[in-house]
Every structure is written in C-alpha cells, then in structure tokens.
Chain A
Amino acid sequence: MIKINLIEYFENTVDSFPDKLALVDGTSQLTFNELRCKAKLIATQITKINSSINSPVAIYLPKTNDAIASFLGTMYSGNCYTPLDTKNPIPRIQAILKALNPSCIITNDRFIANIKKCDLDIEVINLDELDQEEDVDESFNYLKCIDTDPAYILHTSGSTGVPKGVVISHLSIIDYINWVADTFDITEKEKIGNQTPFIFDMSTLDIYLMIFKGATLFIIPEQKFMFPATLLDYINENNINFIFWVPSVLVNIANLKLLGSIKIPTVKKVLFGGEVMPPKHLGYWIKNLDKNVVYGNMYGPTEITGTCVCHIVDETFNENESLPIGKPCRNTDIIVLNEKDELCKVGEKGELCVRGSSLALGYWNNLEKTNAVFVQNPLNKSVPERIYRTGDIALLNEKGEYIYIGRKDFQIKLSGYRIDLGEIEHYILSVFDTINAGVFFDKAKNEIVLIYESENEISVKDFRSRLSNVLSKHMIPTRYIKMDILPKSTTGKIDRALLNKKINNT
C-alpha cells in the first residue's frame, strides 16, 4: 500500500536496519532502533499534554540527535514540529511562539531558562528529565493523520518583523524525498554530512534521506565550518560520501585552496543550494575531486519543500558562464509569468511560479500573507488550482533550462539565510526610535548596509550590541553610513532605488 505518513517510512527503515547507525552528532550516536525508542518516549509525553492531532510542537534544542528524535516524536504523536533557533535573541523566539501558539515546547536543562524568560503559558517537556522506563502506549496518533496534514512548520524572515511559519505537509515531503532518492541513487550506504541548520528547509533533504533510506546522518559540529581544514579531516575520519551544503562553505574551501593539501576521496555526491553558486569556485571543486563525482545545483524556496528545479552539472559546464538552476523536478511544474500574468516566451524574464504536490499548505495563522502568494493559477480558467509565486525573477533558455536572474522585492540570501531587509529595518527603527534609516545589500561585498539619518553619530558598537538583542546575528548590518539627510522621493519616502544604486555602484 502507498505510504501516507513520514512515520510509516521511518518504521519501514527501522525494521530493515534496526542496528545500523542512524545519527551521529558531536557527542553521541543512535542506531535506528534506539532512535525509534527515544522518539516514542517523546511522543508519549506530548500525547499526555495534548491528545489531539495537527497542533504545532516547538523544538528548542541545538542541532543534535535529540532534536531529530523530537521531530520524530512529534510526528508519532500526530502533530507537526517547529524547530526554533537557540541562537536567536529571546524577543524573536517570543514573537514566533506567540504567533505559533504550540501545544508544548521540547527543550533541555541547558535551554529551559530561555523559555522561562519568554514568560508564556506553554507546557514544557525537558528531555533531561524524560523517564526512560516510562510505558509506551503503541496506539500512536499518527495513524489518524492523512497525507495532507502538516509535518513541520519552518519560519522565514517576514517584512513586518514577525517571521512567517511555512506549513509543510507529509505529502510534500514524501513527493520530494522520493524524487531526491531516485535522482541521486540514495541507499542505506549513504553517509550524509549535514551542514545546514534544522531551521533551514535545506536540512529536510539530509534528515529524510536518513529516515526514508536508512542512510547515516552525521550532524557535523558547527565549529568544523569555522575551520575548514578540520571539516575536511572530519569527512575523511567518517568516510562521508554525500553533502548538501550552502555555496558559501564550498567557496570558502575553494578560496583557501584546501582540496590540494587535504584530499577527500570518499565524497561522491556534492549538492548545493540556498544561494547562487559561483561557477569559478565550482570549477575548483570539479578539478580537485574524482572525475565521477556528481554535482547538483538545487533551487527552491521553503514554500515548495526543498527543491523544485535542479541542474546536474554535465560536460557543458563552463567556468565563465553562470550555472542554470535547471529543469523542474518530477511532479513539479514551473511557469514563468510576465506582468500581465501570461506565460513568458523563451528568453523572456518573469516571475517564477510553482505548481505541484510540493506546495506548502500556507503560512501558519496568516491567511492574508498566504493568499498573497499562494494564488489561483492564472492560466487555468476551469478549476481551482494553486500556484506559489516565488518572487524570484527567472527565464527559460533555449535548452529548456531555467536561469535565475534575481528578486523582485527586498529579500536577499546570505550564506543560505533568507533575509527580508524589511524585517531588519522594522527592528532597527523600533530599537533606535530617533533615527530614520534604510537597509541595503551590497552585492559585491555580500554585506548588509545600514544608511541612517540622525543628528548624532551612533557608534558601530552601539548599533551592533543593541541590535544583537533583537536580531539574529546574520541579520545585523555590518556597515553603517550616516547621512545628514536621506534622499526622499516625491511621496516623502526614502528613495531606495537611488541609495541602492549608490551602494552597488550601478
């Protein structure tokens, strides 16, 4: 029978490989059977608090085996999980929790104090106090779920200051992971080296290839990415053969020319996504790794579950040409629409829109934002059919490949983090209420720039230390420019186009 729930895939994998390693993090490891036992214990606790299905459960844990056991535990209980970033400032966590209203929060001794600081009336499960001997009731609520029920909610930067919770169904993940596993020939032999945080939708691929196929997932300690030589040693020590990383990490290794001195012969599949991969740096990897290594450029926003367009690098690769984002994944269709909502011709730029089972259910508790981007397919006049408008500008070339051009709004990508400049501005203006300011992105330097109008100069130290109380570190501007008067348009608003040109010398 066709599987309709992610837990059914997991159960199948545990039954096939009970004693095989499922997870390895910086301090511990779990076999598939051990992972299942832990997940079931967690599910039992969740169900005690809330016996209904389809409620969100917040997971406030660092990137560890326990986080994954909590994701699975949540799904055994018939609910959907929301990973929260333990590095986020408390006000941001508080804002997310308020909008999410989860039935409970899973955390541990180390992080429970932060949850208490949020001062919200939400039940907490502390994994360090979990009773390992507890009787597990095997009648798990996931058996009541259907495939269009939510599996997880991931938060992305929103222009009004409150992050948007993207709700993804079991069906979308099943659709996605089966495509990935077939396309890249994934089996239990895969040793996946995870880089992306679990709050990022790129990690869906890593986590669910483990769950679907019995691959081993190595949650690489974050410190290894600060010191890339140690990262390559880690790959060799653990015989990692599959990676799906953000280009920034691959670029850093290429810039340091590390693959000449430290060979990584076990790596056979190199996928990347989340931002644009510069072809020169990819060329360095191709020259330094074995000839038979597969490279995949994966494109897709969180709202369509991982990847919707993919380009597998072939012999036509040229270091001097930008990499196509490629062709639609199976069971996904791409339509590029012009400003009149008509299908673009080959070579014509327009907004990239997606249709398929991969589409998110919407934004949690936010019908207005949902209806703005999940809309009726304008090409279908006969029956209701949703498409997702990505806000990305793209075109189709003569080879049938999609080419990414840029954004139509103020969203940027920095090391794979999706950032709405409006969210940064919102927080800056709320913390520094005497200034007027605009936030811009210097594309050449990959840097967030704040331009502000103020009577007095504000020191960089003052900006950064006060902003670190409200913004994630990757969202804090790194360059600050004071102007006596900001240029304004005729309507009195900041002339963004002019300032943007100045920053980018265009």
Chain B
Amino acid sequence: MKKKIIDFLTEIRPEFDFAASNNFIEEGMLDSFDIVSLVASLDEEYGISIDGTEILPENFSNVDSIYRLLINNGVTE
C-alpha cells in the first residue's frame, strides 16, 4: 500500500522523490491542488471517503502518515 501511495504522489508531482522526504508540507512539495487530487485518488482507489476534518497537515506530511490515515479509514493491506 505504501508503494501505491508513492505512485499516486509521483503521478501528481513527478519531479519530487516522495519516498525520501519526511515532510512534504514543509518542503513545499504539495500545494492545495495536489491535496485535492491526492484525496480524490485515494478515495477512489480504496472506496473510502476521507473526511474533510481529517485533511490536516499531520496526516499528509509523509508516506507513513498517509498510510496511517488510510488504516484509520478501514483500509487493509
């Protein structure tokens, strides 16, 4: 699943190495368009609906935090 997350991120911003970064937000790797696209991709792929109140910097700072967000939304490996 983590690989899939990296694939989605790379599709949105191919110029960055998401696996190597620990804070996408502070490093300016994503903007508001990107977050909207990423959430749409994750919702569609896993048949979930990430709640707006969960779209927070701490849930999108790196691959692990996005992974945890998906697990909390009931996604299983």
Contact = CB atoms under 8 A, between A and B. Distances in A.
Contact of A230 (B10, B13, B15, B57): B57
Contacts of A249: 32
B52 A256 contact: yes
Contacts, number: 52
B25 A256 contact: no
A415 B31 CA distance: 12
A415 B35 CA distance: 14
B31 A226 contact: yes
Nearest to B40: A255
Interface stretch (A30-38, A103-111, A257-265, A279-287): A257-265
- Chain A interface size band reads 20 to 34
B25 A261 contact: no
Interface string A81-124: 00000000000000000000000000000000000000000000
Interface stretch (A42-50, A236-244, A435-443, A459-467): A459-467
Given A257-B52, A415-B33, A227 B57 contact: yes
A253 B56 CA distance: 13
A294 interface: no
Contacts of B60: 227
Interface string B58-69: 001000000000
Nearest to A252: B36
B55 interface: yes
B17 to A, nearest CB: 11
Contacts of A464: 13-15
Residue among A227, A229, A256 with the most chain B CB within 10 A? A227
B55 to A, nearest CB: 5
Contacts of A318: none
A223 interface: yes
A465 B15 contact: yes
A468 interface: yes
B30 interface: yes
B72 interface: no
B15 A261 contact: no
A473 interface: yes
A197 to B, nearest CB: 12
Nearest to B59: A227
B1 to A, nearest CB: 22
B53 interface: yes
Contact of B55 (A222, A256, A415, A474): A256
A453 B57 CA distance: 40
Contacts of A301: none
Nearest to A229: B53
Contact of B52 (A222, A223, A228, A474): A228
A261 B15 CA distance: 36
Interface in B7-42: 10-11, 13-15, 25, 30-33, 35-36
Leading 6 A-B pairs by shortest Cβ distance:
A256-B52, A461-B14, A465-B15, A258-B52, A226-B32, A225-B32
Given A258-B53, A465-B15, 12 more contacts: A223-B25, A223-B57, A226-B25, A226-B35, A229-B56, A252-B36, A256-B52, A256-B55, A257-B52, A261-B53, A415-B33, A468-B15
Interface of B: 10-11, 13-15, 25, 30-33, 35-36, 51-53, 55-57, 60
